[in-house]
Amino acid sequence: MKPAAVRELAPVLPAWRANLLLLVLAAWFVGLAGRALWLQALNNDFLQRKGESRYSRVVEIGASRGMIVDRNNEPLAISTPVESVAASPADVDAEPADLRKLAQLLGIGNDELRARLFDTKREFVYLKRQLPPEQAERVVQLGIPGVFLQREHRRYYPAGDVMSHIIGFTGVDDKGQEALELAFESTLAGKPGSRRVIRDRLGRIVEDVESIRVPQNSQRLTLSIDARIQYLAFRELKAAVVTHRAKAGGIVVLDAATGEILAMANLPAYNPNNRGKLDANRMRNRTVTDLFEPGSTLKPFTAAAALEAGLFQPGTVIQTAPGQMMVGNRTIQDAHPQGALTVAQVIQKSSNVGTAKMGLALPSETLWSLFSRAGFGVQPRSGFPGEVSGRLRTYTTWKPIEQATMSYGYGLSVSLLQLARSYTMFASDGVLQPVTLLKRDAPVQGTRVISADTALAVRKMLELAAQPGGTAPGAQVSGYTVAGKTGTAHKLEGKSYAANRYVASFVGMAPASQPRIVIAVMIDEPTAGQYYGGAVAAPVFSQVAAGTLRFLAVPPDAPAKTTVLTPESAPLVREEV
């Protein structure tokens, strides 16, 4: 074919189409260049974020939780480092066989593990918290990219069940869940920090880039508790609960001068280091949260009100024969009928009739006022979470029989801590001391409730109660004078009192000449035969007081050969209200 014919067959394209195509291509290249300039020079944050997301991570730096120590700096709660297994879902690259091994090693289901590992909406996820070191090491040996160990802290309690009701425990996130760990969370927790790091494809940190927020470590919490006294109190309480086959028990030891709580123990108890099976019934701090009717331990307050009113003196004679009296259509009676007794002997022998006659001789407002000022019906304000205020009805609602029974401890309810605190007014010459679980560096001002003369007179009566002829000779301590009062109260069962269920109690102080400590003991439902406060609770006081006075280096105030009567050899003066 001739060249002219070929030219005739070739398509003829308009020049404007070529120019248009050239213009589009040029614009496209200009746009790409402009976008590159914008991203790489003028606004490079987007690309930088995308690039950093491949290797850069922000990790939290936990603040070390503060130690809890006793008044002598013995550790009661410490945080120990542990390893947790975590993952960065975006970096996870694992074979199915490796995932099955990991799930088996962590003790979780394969489907659950996959759901966590491949949740790409999250940059960080925990797979298993707080592993033992050997288990954590086996996880590392799997070498799964994106799965790594995260350092955390776990709370450890050296005293175990001995301190459990005071200290409480923390959860898996190291946050307080019970008792003082909860009450002082803001003090103990501190504030976590954070830092930016570079991780390799296995999730290991290879470089620290920058600190974003510095962690603020917490403060140490120093308690008023003396660990030596706490161990002693727990041991003796446990022995009594076991011996008398009791349902529960509690004990509180106070510094009579400062109101500091030196020991506070409960049974049943629990081990805060083993949080797998926690029973709510064992976790209650019964000395603070549970109420009971104090029974005869309230009689000294009625005597104090009578002395303060000027209607009675310690030597005033009250006729209690024939051992019972009628108030309306109700009968009040003594467990052991007596004849004419002085006010001091009424407390020594724990006469219900004598106490009721004193209580009924007073205006109801006078009796109520002293009970209220002694701390009944008011929270002790120890700083412990969940403490109760008890129950003290206003005097305007009292009937004569209620006024009579309240005078010897029925119709109102108290916690063991309240009861222990109320006795500080007899130990501190009429001044009620504020209680605390924190160590005090300086003395605090108490509240005067009764005169010093009345407090001394009642203390002398309480000395008689702890001697032969009283209800609590088993409370004696060799080398020291002791003052205290027993209680043996029937328990409420519905709207009436159970015939064979008792709360046995004793509250006392030593040395009686100048009290340094106040101890309150409560044994709930002893079932081994003995149930009187003098036989069940007073011996616990004796053992704990003897050791506590020795720990505190309190000099003896009685002959060194003072005879301490055992419950078996002590003459039994029955008491039951």
Give the pLDDT confidence of 452-511 residue by residue, as tens digits: 999 999 999 999 999 999 999 999 999 999 999 999 999 988 778 888 899 999 999 999
What whole-number distance in Å separates Cα of residue 296 and Cα of residue 352?
A: 8
pLDDT at 281: 84
Residues 6 or more apart in contact with residue 496 via CB below 8 angstroms: none
By the 8 A CB rule, do 88 and 146 touch?
A: yes
* Among 221, 227, 285, CA closest to 65: 221
Annotation says 296 is catalytic:
yes
Domains and CATH numbers, the chain: 57-222 (3.90.1310.10), 227-551 (3.40.710.10)
Q: Helices 400-407 and 364-373 sit at what angle, rounded to 10 degrees?
A: 40
Structure tokens at 275: 């949080």
Instruction: Kindly tell me the sign of the dihedral angle through the C-alpha atoms of 285, 286, 290, 291.
Output: negative
Integer CA distances (angstroms), 225 to 112, 404, 505, in order: 45, 38, 22
366 sits in which H/E element:
helix 364-373
Residues 6 or more apart in contact with residue 24 via CB below 8 angstroms: none
What stretches in the chain show pLDDT beneath 50?
none
Q: How many other C-beta atoms lie within 10 A of the C-beta of residue 367?
A: 24
Structure tokens at 58: 């922000």
pLDDT at 52: 56
* Among 421, 401, 402, 423, CA closest to 411: 402
pLDDT at 166: 97
What type of residue sits at position 574?
Answer: R
pLDDT at 56: 61
Instruction: Kindly tell me the sign of the dihedral angle through the C-alpha atoms of 243, 244, 247, 252.
Output: negative
What type of residue sits at position 258?
Answer: T
pLDDT at 127: 80
pLDDT at 240: 98
What type of residue sits at position 65?
Answer: R
Three-state secondary structure call for residue 477: strand
C-alpha 526, offset from chain centre: 25
pLDDT at 213: 62
Q: DSSP character for 41? A: I
By the 8 A CB rule, do 201 and 93 touch?
A: yes
What whole-number distance in Å separates Cα of residue 147 and Cα of residue 555?
A: 64
pTM, two decimal places: 0.84
Question: In the beta sheet, which residues pair with residue 541?
Answer: none
Residues 6 or more apart in contact with residue 155 via CB below 8 angstroms: 65, 77, 78, 79, 80, 169, 170, 174, 181, 272
Three-state secondary structure call for residue 540: helix
* Among 274, 330, 314, CA closest to 454: 314
Alpha-carbon radius of gyration of the chain: 37
Three-state secondary structure call for residue 342: strand
Integer CA distances (angstroms), 105 to 93, 98, 131, 137, 141, in order: 18, 10, 11, 11, 11
In three-state form (DSSP H/G/I as H, E/B as E, the rest C), the secondary structure along 164-209 is HHHHCCECCCCCECCHHHHHCHHHHHCECEEEEEEECCCCCEEEEE
Catalytic residue among 224, 296, 413, 542: 296
Structure tokens at 445: 């001002």
Residues 6 or more apart in contact with residue 215 via CB below 8 angstroms: 61, 62, 63, 64, 190, 191, 192, 193
324-327 and 330-333 as β-strands: parallel, antiparallel, unpaired? Answer: antiparallel
Question: In the beta sheet, which residues pair with residue 264?
Answer: 252
Task: Rounding to the nearest 10 degrees, give the CA dihedral for residues 232, 236, 238, 241.
Answer: -160
What whole-number distance in Å separates Cα of residue 211 and Cα of residue 61?
A: 10
